[in-house]
Structure 1
């Protein structure tokens, strides 16, 4: 072998050993984070899988704050009591300082007030939209530990009002889930529909697990409204719509994003959903959103069409970036304070992937800040841990959903301002 070949072989060996040493170093310790997500429902499993995808990418970058990350996942079953018990186990037994979740404001709220805030644990939710969290923060009751990557119910309710106005509906009845999220939605929907001249003829709450919703549906149907607004989850949503259709209710329906579900579509039947449209927050038309979509398709072999997927990815990645910025053995308060360092509008832009996390590590180590650019765009939290977002109107197809209308962040903000 020539001298030059020997030199290059030695260099290659050194680089290989260096990379191996870095990988070994990252595995010398493990930091657990908690996740409380509804893995027992069909639309909840992809949310959890997307969070794990972000964890895997961070571990490929060497982990966070020098340690490999282990996401300890617990199923909430979209049940407040189950969610609280799961969160307590993660905090008390696993010792996590960061909790991802939950889905549904009615589950996230009791976890926040009875588990994470009292224990000083950061709670980062992908999918809780109630404005009750904003109020709680304004009252100083979240201790700065609450963040969410999903826009508040104000966006969905406003765009729902726009849909009703654009379709010329004169009257709408509301069926809503009787929890924090549903109550918040019902209140906002009624106000926003009134602002655009649409009469709300009835607003009826549905409780979980009832054998029948005929009485509630009959109450909503009494005034024969032009359309029905549904702020429900798939199980009660399916039962309610079946009753509604069987009693002669209109197939004109406006759906909250919680019903953007194959389970709901298949159980109700496309023959009854042809006139139904839904609303959701949306990823911006940006390079970072496109990059997330491409990475998701490569990982899972399908489009990220389910609710909360980009939000789940961003929640996880931002939380882990904050752990990197806060350093090893950081407290929940330290991690919460570091979130501003990784979502700084004036910081160095970093991509949502392994390479972006490595770049962020270098910038943070040098005393700088970064601007995370992810599946939902440039995520920026306000003083209450809230974000705003573009919106989309969608409809069901035989294969999934399709976009009907896209509204940019500026268009959403302008329409909401017009309501006020």
Structure 2
């Protein structure tokens, strides 16, 4: 994957602008007329946003369907930042779906996916979204993460561009106004809300014998909408009902020094178990540092419980972090169990030589790209153009079919599903991530899986947990 990313983002374009416009800007006909860090926009060479690729993935035809992909492939926008392995695999999953769709379409039905690496920054994501919306004229944006998705949606919704996230789980997305004065919502996600995951985590800690009925629970969370939302839900659930559990939420800053935070947990609270809500790079640093704190050492009885974003092979690549995490549990949205997941898993493994189930949200990214393609096909068939509103209309027809059975969202079923939507029918779809039963808020409710850290990876213990 690293070779794919570096080849795409760092590739240089031919130079040689022949004309100079007023103000010193070079005129152009295509981006090949511009310098390597520029892109041809309305016949003028303008700076290419940092992290963005000038040429799209998928189709390069001038009349292709234009979509944007905003993926946090690095943990920071700063040079030399480490890669985010989970989102690299999410990007790979989306590219696999894009390849399969374009194999089954032609001409203006094919998709061009303009790509930007957000560096895990919502501010960078917002700037990149403005370029994709205003200059590339995309009809939809595929995003990751709650903070970045909320920032991107603020750009996309007023422009009538649809936002689809494969990993944004904050409950804040549920309440965000997204109709832009129309009748259909423009903010969608294939990842379930953390209202589900948070309740499952609280129930497990409160009543499951594997967790030893802890009397004190620490909740260590990244200070962003994802961490805040999930921490609040877990804390509220543990603090109510007949079986209450003392808990203390403690925040940390993404990429920051966690020593003082761990000192607070260690010396002033001494939890029996700590729920870690954060991303893989931070989780690695936290586990390493916690191994030096008496009350947070596994050998002294402390246990960890992990949220979905910790399910990342990067954590296990660090021997000390892996030794601290081994045998402990975590949760994530469950993978599908039908043919759609089996087909996706086999093809992903063949192409990328990795198990997609070893990372959270790979199947959600795959489904998200397929759903955008189905929406675009419907939009073209009804208006001969692709718009965010028409894509949303198509998504409203997903999971509203009258049949009691679902169609598996596999590569071989795509053409038939597109034809059904184009003919005005509604369909029920089961994707690689499970049933895509969207509600009025553009969310697909899904069960939660319980996984455990083993010597070699992540083992699924259960995949059907509900609040």
Q: SS of 2:330's equivalent? A: strand
Structure-1 residue corresponding to 2:15: none
Paired residues for 1:169-188 under 5 Å? 169-188=214-233
Structure-2 residue corresponding to 1:107: 148
Q: What is the distance in 1 between the residues matched to 2:430 and 2:177?
A: 25
Q: What is the distance in 2 between the residues matched to 1:365 and 1:203?
A: 49
Deviation at 1:141, TM superposition (A): 8.9
Q: SS of 1:269's equivalent? A: helix
Q: Deviations over 1:101-127 (max 9, x none)?
A: 1x22111111112x1112110000000
2:436 matched to 1:385? no
Structure-2 residue corresponding to 1:220: 265
Structure-1 residue corresponding to 2:290: 244
Of residues 188, 191, 205, the one that matches 2:236 is: 191
Q: Deviations over 1:48-98 (max 9, x none)?
A: 1111111111111115x9422111111111111111112111111211010
Gaps of 5+ in 1: 1-25
Structure 1 residues 377 and 404: alpha-carbon distance in aligned structure 2, compared to 1, 3 A threshold = closer
Structure-1 residue corresponding to 2:25: none
Structure 1 residues 153 and 385: alpha-carbon distance in aligned structure 2, compared to 1, 3 A threshold = same
Q: Which has the higher helix share?
A: 1
8 Å contact 1:36–1:76 — kept in the other structure? yes
Structure 1 residues 342 and 381: alpha-carbon distance in aligned structure 2, compared to 1, 3 A threshold = closer
Q: What is the distance in 1 between the residues matched to 2:66 and 2:180?
A: 28
8 Å contact 2:406–2:428 — kept in the other structure? yes
Of residues 122, 135, 155, the one that matches 2:175 is: 135
Q: What is the distance in 2 between the residues matched to 1:332 and 1:250?
A: 50
Q: SS of 2:94's equivalent? A: helix
Structure 1 residues 228 and 318: alpha-carbon distance in aligned structure 2, compared to 1, 3 A threshold = same
Structure-1 residue corresponding to 2:317: 266
Paired residues for 1:18-417 under 5 Å? 29-40=63-74, 41-63=84-106, 66-101=108-143, 103-113=144-154, 115-137=155-177, 144-165=185-206, 166=208, 167=211, 168-195=213-240, 197-210=243-256, 212-221=257-266, 222-248=268-294, 249-251=296-298, 252-267=303-318, 268-305=320-357, 306-327=359-380, 328-346=384-402, 349-407=406-464, 412=466, 416=467
Q: Deviations over 1:309-343 (max 9, x none)?
A: 11001111011101111113232112111212244
Deviation at 1:245, TM superposition (A): 2.2
Q: What is the distance in 2 between the residues matched to 1:164 and 1:368?
A: 44
Q: SS of 1:123's equivalent? A: strand
8 Å contact 1:138–1:384 — kept in the other structure? no
Size of the aligned set, in residue pairs, is 382
8 Å contact 1:350–1:357 — kept in the other structure? no
Q: SS of 1:329's equivalent? A: coil
Where has structure 1 moved over 6 Å in runs of 4 or more?
138-143
Deviation at 1:299, TM superposition (A): 3.0
Deviation at 1:219, TM superposition (A): 1.5
Q: What is the distance in 1 between the residues matched to 2:292 and 2:390?
A: 55
8 Å contact 1:292–1:352 — kept in the other structure? no
Structure-1 residue corresponding to 2:4: none
In the superposition, the TM-score normalised over structure 1's length comes to 0.85
8 Å contact 2:394–2:421 — kept in the other structure? no
Q: What is the distance in 2 between the residues matched to 1:119 and 1:28?
A: 22
Q: SS of 2:368's equivalent? A: helix
Q: SS of 1:370's equivalent? A: coil
Q: Deviations over 1:165-213 (max 9, x none)?
A: 2112221111111111111111101012224635344211111232x21
| Larger mean Cα displacement after TM superposition, 161-170 or 363-372 | 363-372
8 Å contact 2:71–2:118 — kept in the other structure? yes
Gaps of 5+ in 2: 1-59, 75-83
Q: What is the distance in 2 between the residues matched to 1:298 and 1:124?
A: 27
